[in-house]
Amino acid sequence: MNKPLIPLLPPIDRARQVGEALADYVEGADLKSGDRLPAERELMAALGVGRSTIREAIRWFQALGVVESRKGSGNYLLKPISRRTIHMPLSLDTANLRDALLQTLQVRRGLECEAGMVAARMRTASDLEMIEARLEEMERVHHAKGASGPEDLAFHLAVYDATHNPLFRQLLEQMRETFERFWSHPFERFDFARRSFPYHRTLFDAIVAQDPEAARSETLKILEIVEEDIKEMSK
């Protein structure tokens, strides 16, 4: 008999922990948006809990908008989930790409300006090595292809990590699906925000110099170009 993965807990704590364990299971199985979740019996065996507990966790995911139940077919994943994202999955429900990008940009501006300033104050030598490695990879890809995507995101994540405040990365994880629109060549344009490329190097220089105001200024230059491109390309 499989040993239960979930210890005995009060009902509220138990429901939360089962939800987290189920999120870990889904992430470990590398399920993507549109994939069907395993059958209840398989989840019961994997997590060592009863049918009612599994159904409670599924209802919670449905309420969060990350799982959809299809009658006669099963439960399907609407968005990738993990323990980091299930408590506050933030996304925009809009078919208008221009509006979605501009709304997301408002949030990015606040987060990234502050992250750059904090990183400039808190960064360590190892943080600088990681940021520079990500920047050099971004530059390599950009010079080879004329654009970068995941490499740009990796650079910004390294800056977030240099703050030594885990909430910056956690907030980005909550909005990853929405934020990633910026790194997936919106409007089918590979030149989107290309003009912002040089300012990633000057942002790094500001963090090296431990100059928070310069880091804020360089971040704003990046995001101002992004905003200009959104408005120009969506005409």
pLDDT tens per residue, range 158-185: 999 999 998 888 777 667 667 777 777 7
- pLDDT attached to residue 82: 74
Query: Which residue do the tokens 């080879």 mark?
Result: 144
**Count of the separate structural domains present in the chain:** 2
Element (H, E) at 68: strand 67-70
The whole-angstrom separation of Cα 201 and Cα 137 is 12
Average pLDDT over residues 30-46: 89
- Residues 109, 204 share a domain: yes
Residue 224 falls within a domain, yes or no?
yes
Per the structure block, which two tokens stand in for 196?
């912002």
- pLDDT attached to residue 20: 82
- Give residue 146's domain range: 97-233
Residue 154 falls within a domain, yes or no?
yes
- Residues 122, 205 share a domain: yes
Number of other CB atoms surrounding residue 134 within 10 Å: 22
Q: What is the pLDDT of residues 121-136, one digit of tens each?
A: 999 999 999 999 999 9
Global pTM exceeds 0.75: no
Q: Is the dihedral of CA 94, 97, 102, 105 positive or negative?
A: positive
Residue 83 falls within a domain, yes or no?
no
Residue 86 falls within a domain, yes or no?
no
- Residues 222, 117 share a domain: yes
- Residues 187, 73 share a domain: no
